[in-house]
């Protein structure tokens, strides 16, 4: 009996993995998002029964990632994952916001098949690019018989979307998953799992109609960091915008607290005012590792186990789901 041909879809969004420079020694100072996704696969050879299909969803530097691109990615993932002969989706992405895009997809997408985001810290024109190996590793993970969920693969490590974060500005091994640790490793093309694959079900119950709402109609959520000497002026500005009923005024506020959820007294006072003005307030820790312990919801905020940028995505989607 012959093996049923299967496809793996590679969605390109730009980033350093698709970056270029006239100087092959330049690992910084290049232009991100210039090489088409189809060209990134020249050094990737799939198994004989697998066909790689490419689609250019976007071509941008991931520091400029936006809701409209998230919407297109979500729609294309839903479409491709529904095809019976599609084994998995791989997404090439910039490193700066890959953790946010991965978390968005983890929260909003049912991924019974693997959705593997990968990236690079060196541009495609580098003398020693890391993108080709990351793509080969992403393909190995995508084709693992038990793989599921939204994953990030880089530098031989497999990370879950809920835990992964960028922890170094320029090293090749720039990602970590904090206390949880990596899900596994790719070693000479073989996957070695040390934790369970993440769940396939989305974190939030969102309708396709809600996700498809025009990007300008999505809620606005801002992050404010509690730090020594703060005066809270940013929160005062957000409150004033809501009180003046300005278009695009913030609907939610994530407070990146010091330590175990502690807030500067000015931030604390103004956060209560922000809640009274109609903003949904979430508190998380600005610490790199470990969740807050014993910090529960209060009269004016809810706590979050996620990093500040992921807590923002979670609140953004929660507010989106509540929109009429």
Q: Which domains are seen in the chain, by residue range?
A: 6-193 (3.40.50.1170), 219-322 (3.40.50.40)
Average predicted confidence (pLDDT) for the chain: 95
| pLDDT for 27 | 83
pLDDT at 1 over 80: no
How far apart CA 80 and CA 96 sit, in angstroms, is 25
- Model confidence at 5, in pLDDT bands (50, 70, 90)? low
Give per-residue pLDDT as tens, 12-55.
999 999 999 988 888 888 999 999 999 999 989 999 999 999 99
pLDDT at 296 over 90: no
Q: How far is CA 321 from CA 150, 229, 283, 316, in A?
A: 21, 36, 20, 9
| pLDDT for 161 | 98
Q: Model-level pTM?
A: 0.95
Q: What is the mean pLDDT of residues 136-150?
A: 97
How far apart CA 205 and CA 176 sit, in angstroms, is 28
Catalytic residues: 16
| pLDDT for 297 | 78
Percentage of the chain surpassing pLDDT 70? Answer: 98
- 251: nearest Cα among 276, 212, 278: 278
Q: What is the mean pLDDT of residues 247-251?
A: 95
Beta carbons of 62 and 97 less than 8 angstroms apart:
yes
Q: What is the mean pLDDT of residues 232-248?
A: 95
Q: At what angle do helices 98-108 and 67-81 cross, to 10 degrees?
A: 50
pLDDT at 225 over 80: yes
Give per-residue pLDDT as tens, 158-179.
999 999 999 999 999 999 999 9
């Amino acid at each position: 009996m012959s093996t049923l041909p299967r496809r793996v879809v590679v969605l390109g969004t730009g980033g350093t993995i698709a970056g270029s420079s006239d100087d092959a020694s330049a690992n910084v100072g290049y232009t991100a998002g210039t090489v088409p996704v189809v060209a990134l696969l020249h050094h990737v050879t799939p198994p004989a029964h697998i066909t790689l299909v490419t689609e250019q969803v976007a071509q941008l530097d991931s520091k400029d990632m936006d809701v409209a691109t998230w919407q297109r990615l979500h729609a294309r993932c839903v479409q491709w994952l529904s095809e019976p002969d599609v084994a998995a989706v791989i997404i090439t992405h910039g490193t700066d916001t890959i953790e946010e895009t991965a978390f968005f997809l983890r929260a909003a997408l049912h991924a019974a098949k693997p959705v593997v985001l990968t990236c690079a810290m060196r541009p495609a024109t580098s003398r020693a690019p890391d993108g080709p190996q990351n793509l080969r590793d992403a393909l190995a993970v995508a084709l693992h018989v038990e793989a599921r969920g939204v994953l990030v693969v880089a530098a031989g490590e497999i990370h879950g979307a809920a835990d992964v974060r960028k922890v170094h500005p320029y090293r090749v091994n720039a990602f970590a998953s904090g206390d949880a640790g990596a899900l596994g490793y790719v070693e000479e093309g073989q996957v070695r799992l040390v934790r369970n694959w993440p769940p396939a079900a989305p974190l939030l119950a969102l309708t396709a109609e809600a996700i498809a709402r025009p990007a300008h109609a999505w809620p606005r959520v801002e992050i404010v960091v509690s730090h020594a000497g703060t005066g809270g002026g940013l929160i005062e500005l957000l409150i004033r915008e809501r009180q003046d009923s300005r278009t695009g005024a913030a609907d939610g506020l994530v407070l990146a607290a010091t330590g175990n959820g502690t807030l500067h007294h000015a931030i604390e006072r103004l956060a209560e005012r922000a809640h009274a003005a109609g903003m949904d307030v979430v508190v998380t820790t600005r610490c790199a590792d470990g969740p807050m312990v014993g910090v529960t919801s209060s009269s004016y905020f809810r706590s979050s186990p996620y990093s500040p940028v992921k807590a923002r995505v979670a609140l953004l989607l929660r507010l989106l789901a509540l929109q009429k």
